[in-house]
Structure 1
């Protein structure tokens, strides 16, 4: 997850949806940045926000700051919280998408992005997609996106599948943050873009 996004938000300051509704109404009047920080709350019911857990702001962000370009299992109409089995899998999955983003920025010759690693625990009944054909294409997301929409429509909590970017790795996708019980930051990494590719990953160590 990008280390500069999301920042600490109002989600961290309250422990239930009743308090959130009150504090949000007050903050929205006095803090013009609050809407940008929290994202589009119309996309996520307050009953789906796991108030009181560690890292609540991290696990709600994919559902209130939805990427309009979509992802492997979403065309951009809804958010998905993607998780990986190991740090190596998470890095390789993130590297691919960050690299693709930077390559589309014309004239960019060098840049870096800091990424935070989260240890996430969750309890959800997930659909097993390991052997589903057609969802592991490198670039063509048409079939998994249709499948993702169908799973969400049928009220599935999430799904599991093989990592596309790290052979042998496993990934999960959750349709709601409510299934997460904890999201604790562990490590920080810096991805370095050399103008052509993400050429280096460096772990950032506190001095």
Structure 2
């Protein structure tokens, strides 16, 4: 693998023995998590197929599919929302790319993606959908959200025991129908000043 990694310029300038140790850990994790690795592959295959054959949906899992519509690659999420990738391209046996903002250069340019990155995007988007829906349930139950930080909501509540963090945990752990069976648990606390728990 070392020679291949050198040729592809993916050694991150690590010395041989350090790279081999890191690669061994990576390969061990992948061997122990074969279903996750297979999901990466399924997502990339669906995306490649959608790019090559516009206006046809390529299912990945129930509620999750890839479809190219015009100059847009759409990933339909279980919530019904879409992730959108502009100007997608897939070279035969090569890279999958789309147009976007390069986080390092801040320029709008062609970006490379792959199965694992696509799954990361899907995972973050589903987490966002779950959080937004939990926020709607909180507000409907009378919790005024004053701030959100990553995956948490901060609410100001009256000091009269009509609302509490345990009730918030229940509301935030409730699953929408599209996420049935997902193991989800929320944890909260009450304090007079905001702090990271």
Structure having greater relative contact order (Cα 8 Å, sep ≥ 6): 1
Sort the TM-score into its range (normalised by shorter chain). Answer: under 0.3
TM-score, structure 1 normalization? 0.21
Asked which structure has the greater CA Rg, the reply is: 2
